Structure 1
Amino acid sequence: MRPRNREGRTSEVRMNRISFTSDQLPAHLGDAARFAHWHEQFEALTCCVDYSRFEDCAFRARFQFAQFSDLRVALFDGTLKRFSRSASAIARGPDDDFCLLLNRGTAPLQLSQFGREATAGAGGAFVGTNGAAAEMMVAAPGEWATVTIARDRLLQLVPRADDLMARPLDPGQPALRHLKRYLESVLDPDEIGTDPDLDRHIGTTVLDIVALALGAGRDAAEIATLRGLRAARLHEILAEIRASFTNPAFSPRCLAQKIGLSPRYIQALLHETGTSFTERVLELRLQKARTALMSRHHGRLKVSEIAYACGFNDISYFNQAFRRRFGASPSQFRGSA
């Protein structure tokens, strides 16, 4: 699937990314008209894919797309029921790329291709191709992701990828779990950037994790483990630190339990970045406190209240750490600001 932007379409485009949601449709449209309008514009963006909706609930849909080098990622959710790619559609937009479909929701997904049927429950996945007629059904409104990869690129890592067509993958694989989280993070609107080097790195990481999930050959698997999976795990660790650093009880053990890794492995990955868990959390707390002390919105809060809100539970330690970092006590800094 190769989204195309057209002037006047209700999609938000940032370089090689597209965000397209039914919330952007005119508010006065009825449900049937909203679906028809979406269908027309989505077809213009994606080309050569047809679909239908659940008729017994209000129409809603969200589509996010990004291209990283020659690898493409899309996230879907909403009340869409069936996607199909017919022989005539393939003739209009031919390509034989592999496509991994990953179930991000709870409703089962089913793929029919090559006379086979594969079902993926929550966290499950299967592989198909854009080069053959296919139909995908979802049992109820849900969420899923697709990763589209050029045939020759994937075959270099997984020579027998064709044997996996329309066959369910084990949802218990760590690689699939990390892939789900990594895709959601790289398509987060707050993470959108325009750095070609970063996009190439993301594309390589996604490809490596997909290859591991599909059973890459020994040499390729070793490379992917050191490169792709470790990068994805580090990305997940850093995201969780950013989300939880204001919790005074937050620790490597808490983090390890949250994401299913050992504290020792987490510390080792963070060591490779040159900054330990403790140093990283302290810096985030200090920067948040600094921002609060500079803000007029927090002018009525005591310094101690700001410290507690940023994750510190020892005011004396907070004052010492703040002075070391910024060259002034919190009270002095607030006065000068």
Structure 2
Amino acid sequence: MEQLGNADMKHAEDKPFYTASRNVLLGELSVSRFATTTGHYVRTRKHVANDRDDILVGYYRSPQPQLWTVGNQDLELKQGSVVAFNVAQPVSSFTDGLTAWNLASIPRAQILKLVPHAGNRSAMFLDPANPAVRHLERTINFLLDADEVCEDQGLARRAEAMLGDLIVLALGARGEVAEIAAERGLRAARQRELIAIIEKRFAEPSLSITTIADALNLSRRYVSDLLLESGATFSERVLELRLQKARAMLSDVRYDDTKVSDIAFACGFNEVTYFNRRFRGRLGCSPTQYRMGANHSDA
């Protein structure tokens, strides 16, 4: 309960109990995901007395609505609702069914230095369509599933900075603070999103900078600059992924009867001659020679 604090909880007696959670700490910040069938959840002044004074940005993911009473506010959360609130305050909630959340946490003192108005209300809804709010949840999901981030101190520091910037933007930072956070945090999040799209769709022959830029409502130049900053151009990144897939297929006995041309097309190449030339340039032999060598070594 370090993330959410102590509470009185009551579970429906006629339903099987279920709970699952994951929490990743990044310095003073954290991200978490949890789900539970606990119906009633109450935190009194006694419960919050010794809690961390954090601001949580929560993404409600349950199909069942959740009713909140916090401060002098009554809130109804529906699937897709995004709310920011101070965890160190009394609150009660009721859900008839599964409760599911994605959360990001930041010390209240840290956020109030950058976004003073963030502490004006006990809880406030955020716009899910806001790019910063949208990218924040994607970043939460990424950090919860990317174990390598926490294993590398350098990556962890960069991830903490990006997460903090996105929280600042999601909570409505203004002026110079917003400009700095947008340049640093939002740009890093978009870069990661672009790379994820390429890694998912690289085998589509029609994939291009233009199609990605149009899908994300970004300029082609902006997309090109972000990818170049990542260490590889769009063409270099796509080519490498396609060649890696072709190499894996040529080494796999399940594709022994698949024509080299069909493998090339399955990996996103439009022309077999171009595929052969690039494959030879990258691996020093033709696809057919590579397949024969792989099969011989396996034997």
TM above 0.5, yes or no, is yes
Matched, 1:333 2:290: yes
Corresponding residue of 2:140: 183
Matched, 1:244 2:201: yes
Give the deviation of 1:110 after TM superposition: 4.3
Give the deviation of 1:49 after TM superposition: 3.5
Which digits, 9 at most, give the CA deviation of each residue in 1:56-98, with x for residues without a partner?
A: 765444322111111011112354444432223224x422221
Counting only pairs closer than 5 Å after superposition, residues 188-267 of structure 1 correspond to structure 2 as 188=145, 193-267=150-224
Contact 1:127/1:164 (<8 A) preserved? no
Distance across 2 between alignment mates of 1:2 and 1:315 = 57
| SS, match of residue 167 in structure 1 | strand
RMSD across aligned positions (CA):
2.5
Distance across 1 between alignment mates of 2:76 and 2:126 = 9
Cα distance, 1:323–1:271 mapped onto 2, change above 3 Å: same
Cα distance, 1:265–1:151 mapped onto 2, change above 3 Å: same
Corresponding residue of 2:297: none
Distance across 2 between alignment mates of 1:71 and 1:156 = 15
Cα distance, 1:156–1:47 mapped onto 2, change above 3 Å: closer
| SS, match of residue 120 in structure 2 | helix
Matched, 1:269 2:219: no
Contact 1:123/1:176 (<8 A) preserved? no
TM-score calculated relative to the size of structure 1:
0.78
Contact 1:126/1:169 (<8 A) preserved? yes
Corresponding residue of 1:114: 71
Corresponding residue of 2:123: 166
Matched, 1:66 2:53: no
| SS, match of residue 132 in structure 2 | helix
Counting only pairs closer than 5 Å after superposition, residues 109-148 of structure 1 correspond to structure 2 as 109-138=66-95, 141=98, 143-148=100-105
Corresponding residue of 2:2: 2
TM-score calculated relative to the size of structure 2:
0.87
Cα distance, 1:54–1:207 mapped onto 2, change above 3 Å: farther
Greater relative CO, 1 or 2 (CA 8 Å, sep 6+): 2
Contact 2:8/2:41 (<8 A) preserved? yes
| SS, match of residue 102 in structure 1 | strand
Corresponding residue of 2:245: 288
Q: Which moved more, 1:60-69 or 1:249-258?
A: 249-258
Cα distance, 1:138–1:189 mapped onto 2, change above 3 Å: farther
Distance across 2 between alignment mates of 1:213 and 1:129 = 15
Matched, 1:278 2:235: yes
Counting only pairs closer than 5 Å after superposition, residues 152-163 of structure 1 correspond to structure 2 as 152-163=109-120
What code does the residue aligned with 1:212 have? L
Distance across 2 between alignment mates of 1:229 and 1:103 = 22
What code does the residue aligned with 1:280 have? R
Give the deviation of 1:115 after TM superposition: 1.6
Cα distance, 1:203–1:311 mapped onto 2, change above 3 Å: same
Which digits, 9 at most, give the CA deviation of each residue in 1:35-54, with x for residues without a partner?
A: xxxxxxxxxxx651444456
Cα distance, 1:309–1:181 mapped onto 2, change above 3 Å: same
Contact 1:119/1:168 (<8 A) preserved? no
Counting aligned pairs with the same residue, the percent is 37
Cα distance, 1:274–1:195 mapped onto 2, change above 3 Å: closer
Structure 1: runs of 5 or more not aligned: 4-45
| SS, match of residue 75 in structure 1 | strand
| SS, match of residue 151 in structure 2 | coil
Contact 2:26/2:156 (<8 A) preserved? yes
